[in-house]
């Protein structure tokens, strides 16, 4: 029976953490990649001994060159048939939006580095294993900001997350001959710890305005995003590639 392995970046918190728990619950052995060692250790401490045995943690800063990742993954994955899934979840925006007419090129470019370099490095590391097995699933996490203009989100973040979609679509074509399916999930406003902290520390009026723009009138949960990511990255998906799945409570309907 083929071994099922899922590697998830940004796995120590938020959507990445919920996705990790979902894959573990479904019988996958998971590699949790994050640059926060303390958060990774806390993550393993939170789960049962049985589930912890299915989680390997790699403390890696994907914003720096990680040329050894390819060999590290090759050593970890058995030579027998393996179903490998990659969830590229690392990404984010600056806490405060900078107007386009004021933003420097260095700051604008830093959003692309933050949201695309981890995708590049982990995808290149996973490709040899997927190519060897002529199968694999890649799910890239973008954002509603790549699909719909939000007034509190800067152009740099929107552009970098739109680039994630473009890269995914290109890879879905380039990798098809290798049996690798590549898709994108675009979360809306999701109640991660970071978002909830911001939510609790600003005016109720602003929160009400945000909710009024969501047809379902509530924030999403990391677990709801994880369900979508799991479907696209699991063996249940055999024919969907190049797709963009919006998980946003109806904020954007293409």
Count of Cβ atoms closer than 10 Å to residue 221 Cβ: 15
In 3D, which of 33, 6, 29 has the Cα closest to residue 137? 6
* In contact, 116 and 160? CB cutoff 8 Å: yes
Q: Give helix then strand counts, H and E, for the chain.
A: 9, 7
Give me the residues paired with residue 184 across strands. 140, 244
Helices (H), ranges, the chain: 14-25, 37-46, 49-52, 69-76, 105-133, 155-174, 193-200, 204-212, 222-233
* In contact, 183 and 242? CB cutoff 8 Å: yes
Q: Return the residue matching tokens 């799945």.
A: 245
Catalytic residue check, 157 = yes
* In contact, 225 and 19? CB cutoff 8 Å: yes
Catalytic residue among 157, 173, 230, 252: 157
Residues annotated as catalytic (active site), given as ranges? 157
């Amino acid at each position: 029976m083929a071994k099922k392995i899922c590697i998830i970046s940004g796995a120590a918190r938020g959507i990445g953490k919920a996705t990790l728990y979902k894959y573990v619950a479904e019988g996958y052995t998971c590699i949790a990649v994050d640059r926060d060692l303390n958060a990774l250790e806390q993550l393993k401490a939170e789960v049962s001994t049985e589930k912890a045995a299915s989680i390997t943690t790699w403390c890696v800063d994907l914003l720096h060159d990680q040329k050894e990742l390819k060999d590290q993954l090759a050593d970890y994955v058995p030579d027998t048939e393996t179903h490998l899934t990659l969830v590229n979840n690392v990404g984010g925006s600056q806490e405060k939006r900078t107007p386009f007419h004021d933003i420097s090129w260095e700051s604008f470019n830093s959003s692309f580095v933050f949201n695309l370099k981890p995708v590049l490095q982990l995808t290149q590391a996973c490709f040899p294993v997927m190519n060897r097995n002529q199968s694999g699933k890649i799910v890239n996490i973008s954002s509603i900001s790549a699909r719909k203009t939000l007034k509190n989100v800067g152009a740099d973040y929107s552009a970098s997350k739109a680039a994630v979609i473009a890269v995914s679509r290109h890879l879905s074509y380039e990798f098809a001959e290798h049996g690798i399916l590549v898709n994108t999930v675009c979360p809306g406003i999701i109640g991660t710890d970071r978002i909830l902290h911001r939510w609790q520390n600003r005016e109720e009026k602003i929160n009400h305005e945000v909710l009024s723009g969501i047809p379902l009138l509530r924030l999403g949960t990391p677990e709801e995003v994880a369900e979508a990511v799991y479907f696209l990255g699991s063996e249940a998906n055999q024919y969907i590639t190049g797709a963009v799945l919006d998980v946003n409570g109806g904020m954007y309907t293409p």
